[in-house]
Structure formats: C-alpha cells, structure tokens
Amino acid sequence: MKISCGFLIQPVKVQLFFQFEINISLASKNQSYSMKQTNVCIVGAGPAGAIAALFLAKEGINCILTDKAKFPRDKICGDGISGWVVSILYELDKNLLLRLAKQSFLLHSYGIRIVAPNSKYIDLPFPDNNLIENNIPPGFIARRIDFDSFLIEEVKKHSEIEFLEETEISQYQYENTGIVLSDKNGSIQIDAKIVLFANGANSMFMKDPGGIIKDKKYTMTGLKAYYKGVAGFHPQNYVELHFLKKLLPCYFWIFPLPDGLANVGVGLDQYRISKKKINLKEKILEAIETVPYLKERFANAEMVSKIQAYGLPLWDRKRRISGDRYMLTGDVASLIDPVTGEGIGHAAISGMLAARQAKRSLKANNFTADFMEQYDKSIYDKIGKELNISSKIAKFIKHAWLFNAVVNRTVNSKTLQHRLSLAMSDLEVRKRLKKPSVYLKVLLGR
C-alpha cells in the first residue's frame, strides 16, 4: 500500500492512514515499529547535519542523526573545501582538525586561480589565518566520499549521537510535545522537540514546512567527473575557476586531488539550461576539446568516472529559514554562494549555529517560530553580507569584456592581486568590489 502525496499535505489523514498501515504490517509480518524520543532529530548526515550533531554532542545534548544512505556514500560535488570549514572545525575541536589535515585523502590548497574569458589568469593566494604553522592549510580538496565519511566516523565516537543510516525520513507531523518524523512505511518514528532539516538540495522539507519555492534562475545544475592525468596545476594546488565566455556568469572548474586525480565540472542555472536547451555534458567535453589551453592540459588525461549531475540551490535573498520547532540548514536553506558555488562551508556554519539555537531553545523550553528566529539572525549576521555582495558581483561577471579588462590589468599589478586576495577573507574589501566604480578605477589604473 502506498502513501500518496495528497496524504502528506493532510497530516491528520497521514496519521490515521499510518495507524492503519502499521496494524496491517504488524498483523501480516509480525513486524514491530519503534517510537524514539530525542531532544533534536537531524535529517541528513552531510556536512550540515554531521557538524550540527557534533556541536550538540560537545554541549552534551542528545540527538538522533538520520541519513537515507549507507556510509561511505558519495555526494556529487566539486570537492573544494574552503576556509570556512577549516575555521568551523577548528572551533568544534582543534584535534579533530589536526587529524583531518593529516589524512592522505586530502590535498592542502593554498590559493585560487581565476581564468578570464580571454584565458589570462590571476593567481590569488588564500590569506593565511595563522593556522599554516600548525600544518593546517587555509583550504583543501577532498573527495566527498572520504570527507563526509571522516565526519561520520567522528559522529560514531559520541555516545550523545544515535546515528541511523539507511533511514529515509519522508513525513513529519506536529504533536503537542514535538514533531514526529517517520519513514515511508512508518517502521521508524522519531519524536523530537526540535528538528533540523539537513537533507540537501532535493529536500522535500525545503518547501514544506520551509516555505522555500525553488527559482530556476537561482538553482544551478552542476556536473562533475573525475579525470586522471590533467597537467599544469599550480605547485600549491590552487583550485581553478575558468570563466568561459559561453558559460558566464558560471564557470568551468578544475580542482586537483591526491593521486593525480582532478575533479572537473561545470555549472549553469536551470533557467538558461531549459530556455536555451543546453546540454551541460556536451559543454564539459566541448570545453576540453576546443579551448586551446584546456586541450593542451587534457592531452594525456583520461576520464575515470561517469559524468554526474546534481542541483545547487544558490542564495538569492534573505528569507525565513526556521519556524515552530524546526530549522533549515545547508542546502535546504539555500545557502550556496551565488558566485563561487561554495556550499560546504555555509552548510558547516549553519550546522554550528543551528546547534547553538537548539541549545538556547532547550534551555528556555521555547520552541516557537519567534524564538527560533534568532537562528536566522545568527546566520545572516555571519554570512548575510558576504552572500549579498556575492550576488552583486555575479552581475558584474556576466559581462565578458569587463571581466577580461579587469583581469588584464590585474595580471600586471601586484597591488591589485594583493587587494583581490584580501577580498576573499576581508568583507570590507569585498564590499568595495561590488561597486562598479572599483572596476572603473582598475581599468583607469588607479
């Protein structure tokens, strides 16, 4: 017997139907179902969910962390893990970060290469946040199958966290004392005082209860494949963003990985993909075969995986990301940077801040939407400005001629390179970059 979508929108019916189905299954298969109770249930054990669970454990707060997958599992991604992740893990547990930095699946990365449509490039070192002396890099690159599993192994060390793999949550129901979550056939039910929805870009909870309707203009489809034998990387493993004219404001990326591997991919907003009937898979192959400098670098390279696609919900505006007894985190809250496509760092931040809000709510025994709104505020205080600036910079990037001109001038100016390098971490500098006058000054050589 199947539960249709109609039942999901009508919670009372769901409940009735549920009881009915449970009785049948109990009678026919002699199967039992469990009702678990917890302070916090986290749906999804990607970076947002796993990091939220670890911060809760640090505070001694019990939680249940569920994931539909069995770990280790892959996640389609560019595998670039930014300084935000480094600083959040540092805040969580310095030793954990030191352990991570030593893993052989991880490549330390010290900068970013930005290639303009005219193929001129600038190399911008990541600012050193005083961690390098401890052999902790300012950023790194690691296949998600390895990075996410590393976090899950940490999760398993904590008795405060009950980790349920292969548990897909598909329904929620408000009760007097909390929210009851359950899987499709009700074989598991979790009664939680607070729920963190952390189940990624395709989450059904983004819309209900979250109220977020995806806009194709701000939802990107990203494609990635692993290659072996790509030549010409920066000796300090810079991540590379190639702004090819046909893809602006999106980009083609090449991120080096250990063992001579590279993550190669491309992303474009779904509005243009469907309007112009763009085949993104062809775009990757076309770029490699026709852009002269890429052709040269891929001359001896070989694709060693399938090309895979997944959605990226980009940040487009401030909106509510919490409500009565729940918070949206990571991709469910649409927190991906609209210029860089960076989502792991923001997922980590939201996991940390959601755990802090859960602590406040439990202490005050207040789970109302009004009280939960402190979570939204904490997110926007931390990354709201950055996201806002990025969405303005995205507009400038659309113009290939202006992008080319600015890169041309920057290539020859150490001062400008330094300024752009700073802009990656200094919000005040980045703020200036969103003003057209800054680019005018660059062009005029001031």
Q: How far is the CB of 375 from ligand FAD (least distance, A)?
A: 15
Q: How far is the CB of 409 from ligand FAD (least distance, A)?
A: 28
Nearby residues of 433 by Cβ (< 8 Å), 6 or more positions away: 389, 393, 420, 423
- Contact map string, positions 234 to 273, toward ligand FAD, x by CB under 6 A: -------------------------------x--------
Considering the complex, state which of residue 201 and residue 301 has its C-beta at the smaller distance from ligand FAD.
201
CA distance 202 to 313: 9
- Contact map string, positions 206 to 225, toward ligand FAD, x by CB under 6 A: ----------------x-x-
Q: How far is the CB of 161 from ligand FAD (least distance, A)?
A: 15
CA distance 247 to 117: 9
Considering the complex, state which of residue 222 and residue 338 has its C-beta at the smaller distance from ligand FAD.
222
**Of the residues 43, 100, 152, 328, which one makes contact with ligand FAD according to CB under 6 A:** 43
**Of the residues 44, 83, 111, 138, which one makes contact with ligand FAD according to CB under 6 A:** 44
Q: Where are the beta strands (DSSP E) in 292-421?
A: 302-303, 308-313, 322-323, 326-328
CA distance 413 to 420: 11
- Contact map string, positions 53 to 82, toward ligand FAD, x by CB under 6 A: -------------xxxx-----xxxxxx-x
Q: How far is the CB of 402 from ligand FAD (least distance, A)?
A: 25
Any contact of residue 47 with ligand FAD (CB under 6 A)? yes
Residues between 384 and 413 that touch ligand FAD (CB under 6 A): none
DSSP 3-state of 26: helix
Please give the angle made by the CA atoms of 157, 160 and 164, to the nearest 5 degrees: 75
CA-CA distances (angstroms) from residue 43 to 148, 168, 318? 15, 8, 23
Considering the complex, state which of residue 137 and residue 343 has its C-beta at the smaller distance from ligand FAD.
343
Q: Comparing C-alpha atoms, which of 327, 442, 373 is closest to residue 48? A: 327
Any contact of residue 297 with ligand FAD (CB under 6 A)? no
Which tokens sit at 216?
A: 């194709």
Amino acid at 317: R
Any contact of residue 138 with ligand FAD (CB under 6 A)? no
Which tokens sit at 303?
A: 């694709």
Any contact of residue 424 with ligand FAD (CB under 6 A)? no
Residues between 185 and 204 that touch ligand FAD (CB under 6 A): 198-201
Which tokens sit at 226?
A: 């692993």
Any contact of residue 352 with ligand FAD (CB under 6 A)? no
Any contact of residue 117 with ligand FAD (CB under 6 A)? no
Phi/psi of residue 238, each to 5°? -65, 140
**How buried is 232 (Cβ within 10 angstroms: 0-12 exposed, 13-18 middle, 19+ buried)?**
exposed
**Of the residues 327, 344, 406, 423, which one makes contact with ligand FAD according to CB under 6 A:** 344
CA-CA distances (angstroms) from residue 100 to 2, 148, 325? 43, 11, 33
Phi/psi of residue 173, each to 5°? -150, 125
Total binding residues toward ligand FAD, as defined by CB under 6 A = 39
**Of the residues 331, 387, 406, 430, which one makes contact with ligand FAD according to CB under 6 A:** 331
DSSP 3-state of 35: strand
Considering the complex, state which of residue 321 and residue 389 has its C-beta at the smaller distance from ligand FAD.
321
Q: Comparing C-alpha atoms, which of 201, 218, 219 is closest to residue 210? A: 201
Residues making contact with ligand FAD (CB under 6 A) = 43-49, 66-69, 75-80, 82, 168-170, 198-201, 222, 224, 265, 310, 312, 330-331, 336, 341-345, 347
